Amino acid sequence: MTPTSPQIVRELFKYIPVIAWAMDMDGVVLLAEGSTLGGIGFAPGQLVGHNLLVVFGQDPNSVAQMKRALAGESFTMLGETGGRTISTRYEPMFDEHGVQNGVVGITIDETLRLENERELAVHATALSEQAELLDLAHDAILVCRLDGTLTYWNRGAELVLGHGRAAVIGRNALELLHTALPVPLADIQRVLQTQGYWEGELTHTRSDGHEVLVSSRWVLRRGEGATADSVLQIDTDITARKRAEQAETRRQQEIIRAQAQAIEELSTPLIPITDEILVMPIIGMLDSIRAQQVMHTLLSGLAASRGKFAILDITGVPVVDTAVAHALLQAARAARLLGTEVILTGIRPEVAQTLVHIGAELGSIITRGTLQSGIKYALARGRIKLGA
């Protein structure tokens, strides 16, 4: 059986989301087809033969619009029917003599489209607000595809890194900034894929060629299907802080060196008693490092003063072993080369026993029991020499 024209039209409008209708000059429906008729409470073809002015008689706005079209006006209107938002295009219909014989209309259900537009507008507003907030941040905020291509660059990035937004979108971030990474990029990408997060310190090169040190946090972003599609990067400029920390570290090191030098000088002072007699009281443990300090201080002082007698007082040295004895002998020999006689004082009985036990050879060094006796000896020797 060959389908009739109304059947063909009905089948056609099953797949077109509009309502096509026509009425004569009295308002009687000649055609009413379309799958969306159900949205306003009618079936396709149901309205044919009915008078639209009567059907919609309770809706003054719809009746007024139909009368405008029957009067020969073309226009489009947006309205509400059955809780749906619809738009209708009204066009006068004419016969072959140019005489109006009715109205044709196309009605479209705009409800879903308008809802989508409102959602998009809300989403766009939210994105715009988020972008404005991100631009207020002092940190550099970047978004890159997985291959490093930049897709977002906030105002903070312009200030921190010097490049304008328009000039960087689409470029590779690491290449643009000549970024020095603390570890290989492959290691960072592996951590991102397994943990979704990485942080560390990076060195970027600004557009003006200056380097900037940043504390960087990378977060893996996932799109549809939880598939990773981009990386959010937040960089905080720590250049000034690092420089201040380095300056403070250098200052602390200088303080430590100065303190060490002061302690060294205090631990091995060389005290002039007369122009010819110098005393060095040694207190505490005497190890190889302090022994070198003793010799350095002694020889420097003797070279500067040309003293003839150097008294090394070890009353405050608790332990004298082979190494200590050897250091004292070395100091004495070095002093003798400068023309100075060394006098060792303050040898306690237990220290004397130790020296004997270890076989220390102190024959070339004058020894006295106390510092006072050592000074007395040096004064006496000095008078003899002066009177010679």
Separation between Cα atoms, residue 61 and residue 159, nearest integer Å: 57
Question: What stretch of H or E contains 153?
Answer: strand 150-153
Q: Which of 60, 64, 33 is nearest to 46 (CA)?
A: 33
Separation between Cα atoms, residue 109 and residue 129, nearest integer Å: 32
pTM over 0.85: no
Amino acid sitting at position 3: P
Q: Counting Cβ atoms within 10 Å, is residue 192 exposed (0-12), middle (13-18) or buried (19+)?
A: middle
Q: What is the pLDDT of residues 72-120, one digit of tens each?
A: 999 998 877 767 788 889 999 999 999 999 999 998 888 888 888 888 7
Contact assessment for residue 185 and residue 269, using Cβ atoms and an 8 Å cutoff: no
- Domains within the chain, CATH numbers bracketed: 5-114 (3.30.450.20), 138-241 (3.30.450.20), 268-387 (3.30.750.24)
* Four-residue CA torsion sign, 38, 42, 48, 53: negative
How does residue 150 score in pLDDT terms, banded at 50, 70 and 90? Answer: very high
Count CA atoms closer than 13 A to 325's CA, side-chain side: 19
Separation between Cα atoms, residue 318 and residue 346, nearest integer Å: 11
Q: What is the pLDDT of residues 321-351, one digit of tens each?
A: 777 777 777 888 888 888 888 888 888 777 7
Q: What is the pLDDT of residues 14-69, one digit of tens each?
A: 767 788 889 999 999 998 888 778 777 788 888 899 999 998 888 888 899 999 99
Write down the pLDDT at residue 387.
Answer: 37
Contact assessment for residue 375 and residue 276, using Cβ atoms and an 8 Å cutoff: no
Separation between Cα atoms, residue 203 and residue 180, nearest integer Å: 5
Contact assessment for residue 104 and residue 79, using Cβ atoms and an 8 Å cutoff: no
Paired tokens of 303: 């070279």
Separation between Cα atoms, residue 12 and residue 16, nearest integer Å: 7
Separation between Cα atoms, residue 112 and residue 220, nearest integer Å: 34
Separation between Cα atoms, residue 152 and residue 23, nearest integer Å: 55
Paired tokens of 85: 């938002």
* Four-residue CA torsion sign, 6, 11, 14, 16: negative
Number of other residues whose CB lies within 10 A of the CB of residue 372: 11
